[in-house]
A and B are shown apart, each in its own frame.
Chain A
Amino acid sequence: KAGVTQTPRYLIKTRGQQVTLSCSPISGHRSVSWYQQTPGQGLQFLFEYFSETQRNKGNFPGRFSGRQFSNSRSEMNVSTLELGDSALYLCASSLGQGRETQYFGPGTRLLVL
């Protein structure tokens, strides 16, 4: 099976702009979770989607949002970008039936100037 894919892999934006990142899960996986990875804060959970519904949310401001489509693909959006949003954004997919293994994508590296 193909692994989790994320597009784009790299992105440069300026403060105040917005950005949309995309994640395609492993075929058959219905749960997609998003994480932010920074040198200072490490890996932090953003949110999880299952069957097009946000099922769990981390402690991030409302500028961070997401959605999931009927084919389980997911997008996350960050509005009004700040310098501190520069990070590697990872998505992970799983079947969504319990505390099973999550499979991670390669990430999208976002740089905010």
Chain B
Amino acid sequence: AQRVTQPEKLLSVFKGAPVELKCNYSYSGSPELFWYVQYSRQRLQLLLRHISRESIKGFTADLNKGETSFHLKKPFAQEEDSAMYYCALSSGSARQLTFGSGTQLTVLP
């Protein structure tokens, strides 16, 4: 069975500091991994996916198959980055997403 683990429920950093949100997964095949973000009073939206290898809003994430991790990083956090972040995995050809429990990021001024 597939599983996504986000070990930090809450994470606070100061503005300008680096931030890393951890995500580990378990899946025997070749997964597709995503980071979704939910800003206050807004809908869940895609931040980035590993297959596109893009940097969105300064965030990057690298899939490490050896460590089965997909950590989200940003070198300089901004106050507008405060939000709930979900790591998600899609397996096989399914549209089914398995989500982690989420990490609430607060960027302090």
CA distance A33 to B97 in the complex (A): 9
Q: In the complex, what residues of A have CB within 8 A of residue B49's CB?
A: 101
Q: Are A43 and B99 in contact (CB under 8 A)?
A: yes
Distance to closest chain B CB from A91 (angstroms) = 11
A1 at the interface (CB under 8 A from B): no
CA distance A96 to B96 in the complex (A): 11
Q: What bracket does the count of chain B residues touching chain A fall in? A: 20 to 34
Q: Are A58 and B96 in contact (CB under 8 A)?
A: yes
Count of chain A residues with Cβ under 8 Å from any Cβ of B?
Answer: 26
Query: Main secondary structure on chain A at its contact with chain B?
Result: strand
What is the count of residue pairs linking A and B with beta-carbon distances less than 8 angstroms? 54
Name B95's contact: one of A94, A105, A106, A107 (CB within 8 Å).
Answer: A94
Q: Are B43 and A104 in contact (CB under 8 A)?
A: yes
A45 at the interface (CB under 8 A from B): yes
Q: Are B43 and A48 in contact (CB under 8 A)?
A: no
A32-65 residues at the B interface, CB under 8 angstroms: 33, 35, 42-45, 48, 50, 55-56, 58
Residues of chain A whose beta carbon lies under 8 Å from any beta carbon of chain B: 3, 31, 33, 35, 42-45, 48, 50, 55-56, 58, 90, 92, 94, 96, 98-99, 101-107
